[in-house]
């Protein structure tokens, strides 16, 4: 698989020139992961953001009051998860597990920080995506608390 055309087809990275796209590719680590591979456990520290190149990843959350696991959604090719791991000391909001073999491209915290030198616009895009994810998580938590307080 050629990474540059793949990334250029993703809305998050389609507008960047070759210099920035090449810098992102240099910062990514491509890995093949087996079925059932756990990328991050809820509450743990993932250490990387992942772009799914092939396969699917399940997102599972544990409801702490009654310790019930529930499937949030399945992510597919082209989707990104683990964005919050690029923020220092930010625990994962969910467990992420490979459903079948998965090929991913990982951007570690160190890769993210070094990417600021060669492709700041891509890092700014990722920071925006992190802010959106934090807002979405906050909204979900707020809705969850409202439902449980109404019972």
Helix, strand, coil shares of the chain, percent, nearest 5, are 40, 30, 30
Q: How far apart are CA 126 and CA 124, in angstroms?
A: 5
Q: How far apart are CA 94 and CA 39, in angstroms?
A: 10
Q: How far apart are CA 24 and CA 124, in angstroms?
A: 13
Q: What pTM value is reported for the model? A: 0.87
Q: How far apart are CA 50 and CA 120, in angstroms?
A: 19
Provide the β-strand partners of residue 33: 102
Q: Under CATH, what is the fold of the domain 3-150?
A: Jelly Rolls (2.60.120)
For each of the chain's 151 residues, which pLDDT tens digit applies? 799 999 999 999 999 999 999 999 999 999 999 999 999 999 888 789 999 999 999 999 887 656 767 777 899 999 999 988 888 777 888 899 999 999 999 999 999 999 999 999 999 999 999 999 888 888 887 887 888 787 7
Q: Would you kindly state where each structural domain of the chain is located, as residue ranges?
A: 3-150
- β-pairing, 80-81 vs 29-33, is unpaired
Q: How far apart are CA 81 and CA 118, in angstroms?
A: 23
């Amino acid at each position: 698989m050629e990474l540059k055309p793949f990334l250029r087809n993703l809305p998050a990275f389609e507008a960047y020139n070759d210099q920035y796209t090449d810098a992102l590719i240099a910062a990514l680590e491509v890995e093949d992961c087996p079925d059932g591979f756990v990328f991050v456990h809820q509450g743990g520290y993932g250490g990387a953001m992942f772009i799914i190149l092939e396969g699917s990843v399940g997102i599972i959350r544990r409801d702490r009051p009654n310790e019930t696991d529930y499937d949030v959604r399945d992510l597919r090719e082209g989707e990104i998860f683990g964005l919050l791991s690029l923020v220092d000391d930010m625990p994962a909001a969910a467990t992420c597990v490979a459903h079948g073999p998965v090929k991913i491209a990982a951007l570690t915290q160190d890769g993210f920080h070094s990417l600021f030198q060669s492709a700041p616009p891509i890092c700014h895009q990722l920071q925006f995506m992190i802010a959106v994810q934090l807002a979405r998580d906050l909204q979900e938590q707020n809705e969850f608390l409202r439902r449980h307080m109404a019972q």
